[in-house]
Structure 1
Protein backbone atom coordinates (compact mmCIF):
# COMPACT_ATOMS: atom_id res chain seq x y z
CA UNK A 1 0.00 0.00 0.00
CA UNK A 2 1.44 3.44 -0.92
CA UNK A 3 2.48 5.82 1.83
CA UNK A 4 0.96 9.24 2.33
CA UNK A 5 2.95 12.37 3.14
CA UNK A 6 1.73 12.50 6.74
CA UNK A 7 2.82 8.89 7.34
CA UNK A 8 6.31 9.66 6.08
CA UNK A 9 6.49 12.77 8.23
CA UNK A 10 5.37 10.82 11.32
CA UNK A 11 8.17 8.28 10.80
CA UNK A 12 10.76 11.01 10.30
CA UNK A 13 9.51 12.94 13.32
CA UNK A 14 10.33 9.98 15.60
CA UNK A 15 14.03 10.20 14.70
CA UNK A 16 14.15 13.95 14.10
CA UNK A 17 11.71 15.44 16.64
CA UNK A 18 13.01 19.02 16.38
CA UNK A 19 13.59 19.05 12.62
CA UNK A 20 11.96 21.19 10.02
CA UNK A 21 10.28 18.54 7.83
CA UNK A 22 8.33 19.06 4.63
CA UNK A 23 7.02 16.04 2.72
CA UNK A 24 5.34 16.50 -0.64
CA UNK A 25 3.80 14.28 -3.28
CA UNK A 26 0.32 13.07 -3.97
CA UNK A 27 0.68 9.67 -5.61
CA UNK A 28 1.89 7.92 -2.45
CA UNK A 29 4.80 6.32 -4.32
CA UNK A 30 7.05 9.08 -5.66
CA UNK A 31 7.53 11.63 -2.91
CA UNK A 32 9.96 14.35 -1.87
CA UNK A 33 11.13 15.33 1.59
CA UNK A 34 13.16 18.16 3.03
CA UNK A 35 14.67 17.53 6.46
CA UNK A 36 16.62 20.28 8.21
CA UNK A 37 18.05 19.08 11.50
CA UNK A 38 20.93 19.97 13.80
CA UNK A 39 22.02 16.32 13.89
CA UNK A 40 23.22 16.71 10.29
CA UNK A 41 25.86 19.28 11.23
CA UNK A 42 29.32 17.98 10.30
CA UNK A 43 27.92 15.04 8.30
CA UNK A 44 28.26 14.75 4.56
CA UNK A 45 25.21 14.42 2.32
CA UNK A 46 25.45 10.62 2.12
CA UNK A 47 25.54 10.32 5.92
CA UNK A 48 22.55 12.65 6.22
CA UNK A 49 20.52 10.74 3.68
CA UNK A 50 21.38 7.39 5.25
CA UNK A 51 20.03 8.72 8.56
CA UNK A 52 16.76 9.66 6.84
CA UNK A 53 16.46 6.26 5.14
CA UNK A 54 17.12 4.53 8.48
CA UNK A 55 14.32 6.61 10.03
CA UNK A 56 11.92 5.22 7.41
CA UNK A 57 12.34 1.79 9.03
CA UNK A 58 12.53 -0.31 5.86
CA UNK A 59 9.63 1.32 4.01
CA UNK A 60 11.90 1.81 0.97
CA UNK A 61 13.55 -1.62 1.06
CA UNK A 62 13.48 -3.48 -2.22
CA UNK A 63 10.71 -3.86 -4.78
CA UNK A 64 8.14 -4.67 -2.11
CA UNK A 65 8.79 -1.44 -0.21
CA UNK A 66 5.80 0.83 0.36
CA UNK A 67 7.72 3.86 -0.87
CA UNK A 68 9.28 3.56 -4.30
CA UNK A 69 11.14 6.88 -4.59
CA UNK A 70 11.91 9.71 -2.21
CA UNK A 71 13.76 12.78 -3.46
CA UNK A 72 15.66 14.10 -0.44
CA UNK A 73 16.99 17.46 0.59
CA UNK A 74 18.89 17.32 3.88
CA UNK A 75 20.96 19.91 5.72
CA UNK A 76 21.78 21.41 9.08
CA UNK A 77 20.05 24.66 10.03
CA UNK A 78 21.83 27.84 9.02
Structure 2
Protein backbone atom coordinates (compact mmCIF):
# COMPACT_ATOMS: atom_id res chain seq x y z
CA UNK A 1 0.00 0.00 0.00
CA UNK A 2 1.37 3.40 -1.00
CA UNK A 3 1.82 6.31 1.38
CA UNK A 4 -0.28 9.44 1.18
CA UNK A 5 1.30 12.90 1.01
CA UNK A 6 -0.13 13.86 4.40
CA UNK A 7 1.51 10.79 5.98
CA UNK A 8 4.92 11.78 4.59
CA UNK A 9 4.42 15.32 5.86
CA UNK A 10 3.40 14.07 9.32
CA UNK A 11 6.57 11.97 9.65
CA UNK A 12 8.79 14.88 8.64
CA UNK A 13 6.88 17.30 10.88
CA UNK A 14 7.49 15.06 13.92
CA UNK A 15 11.19 15.74 13.62
CA UNK A 16 10.92 19.29 12.26
CA UNK A 17 7.77 20.76 13.88
CA UNK A 18 8.35 24.34 12.68
CA UNK A 19 9.45 23.47 9.15
CA UNK A 20 7.80 24.64 5.98
CA UNK A 21 6.93 21.41 4.18
CA UNK A 22 5.37 20.78 0.78
CA UNK A 23 4.80 17.32 -0.65
CA UNK A 24 3.94 16.90 -4.35
CA UNK A 25 2.71 13.64 -5.89
CA UNK A 26 4.77 13.61 -9.09
CA UNK A 27 3.00 10.85 -11.00
CA UNK A 28 -0.42 10.82 -9.36
CA UNK A 29 0.17 7.23 -8.32
CA UNK A 30 0.99 7.67 -4.62
CA UNK A 31 4.45 6.21 -5.18
CA UNK A 32 6.55 9.06 -6.58
CA UNK A 33 6.80 12.20 -4.49
CA UNK A 34 8.82 15.40 -4.24
CA UNK A 35 9.35 16.88 -0.79
CA UNK A 36 10.40 20.47 -0.18
CA UNK A 37 11.52 21.11 3.40
CA UNK A 38 12.72 24.43 4.81
CA UNK A 39 13.88 24.16 8.41
CA UNK A 40 16.05 26.15 10.80
CA UNK A 41 17.49 22.82 12.02
CA UNK A 42 19.35 22.60 8.69
CA UNK A 43 21.46 25.69 9.43
CA UNK A 44 25.15 24.80 9.37
CA UNK A 45 24.52 21.35 7.86
CA UNK A 46 25.71 20.27 4.44
CA UNK A 47 23.03 19.37 1.90
CA UNK A 48 23.89 15.69 2.39
CA UNK A 49 23.39 15.99 6.18
CA UNK A 50 20.09 17.83 5.62
CA UNK A 51 18.83 15.02 3.40
CA UNK A 52 20.03 12.37 5.83
CA UNK A 53 18.07 14.09 8.61
CA UNK A 54 14.87 14.01 6.54
CA UNK A 55 15.40 10.37 5.56
CA UNK A 56 15.96 9.55 9.24
CA UNK A 57 12.61 11.19 10.02
CA UNK A 58 10.97 8.90 7.46
CA UNK A 59 12.50 5.88 9.17
CA UNK A 60 11.77 2.47 7.70
CA UNK A 61 9.20 3.87 5.25
CA UNK A 62 12.09 4.23 2.77
CA UNK A 63 13.82 0.92 3.51
CA UNK A 64 14.21 -1.27 0.45
CA UNK A 65 11.34 -3.21 -1.06
CA UNK A 66 9.47 -3.35 2.26
CA UNK A 67 9.18 0.43 2.51
CA UNK A 68 5.89 2.10 1.68
CA UNK A 69 7.52 5.06 -0.03
CA UNK A 70 8.93 4.10 -3.42
CA UNK A 71 10.56 7.32 -4.68
CA UNK A 72 11.21 10.70 -3.09
CA UNK A 73 12.90 13.68 -4.74
CA UNK A 74 14.10 15.84 -1.87
CA UNK A 75 14.87 19.56 -1.73
CA UNK A 76 16.00 21.07 1.56
CA UNK A 77 17.01 24.56 2.57
CA UNK A 78 17.47 26.92 5.51
CA UNK A 79 14.94 29.76 5.94
CA UNK A 80 16.02 33.12 4.56
The TM tier, using the shorter chain, reads over 0.9
- Aligned structure 1 segments of 4 or more residues deviating by more than 4 angstroms: none
Structural RMSD (CA): 0.7
Structure 1 unaligned spans of 5+: none
**Per the alignment, in what secondary structure is the counterpart of residue 63 of structure 1?**
helix
* TM-score (normalised: structure 1): 0.96
**Per the alignment, in what secondary structure is the counterpart of residue 60 of structure 2?**
coil
Alpha-carbon distance between aligned partners in 2 of 1:58 and 1:50, rounded to the nearest angstrom = 13
Q: Aligned pair count?
A: 78
Alpha-carbon distance between aligned partners in 2 of 1:61 and 1:47, rounded to the nearest angstrom = 18
Higher share of residues assigned helix: 2
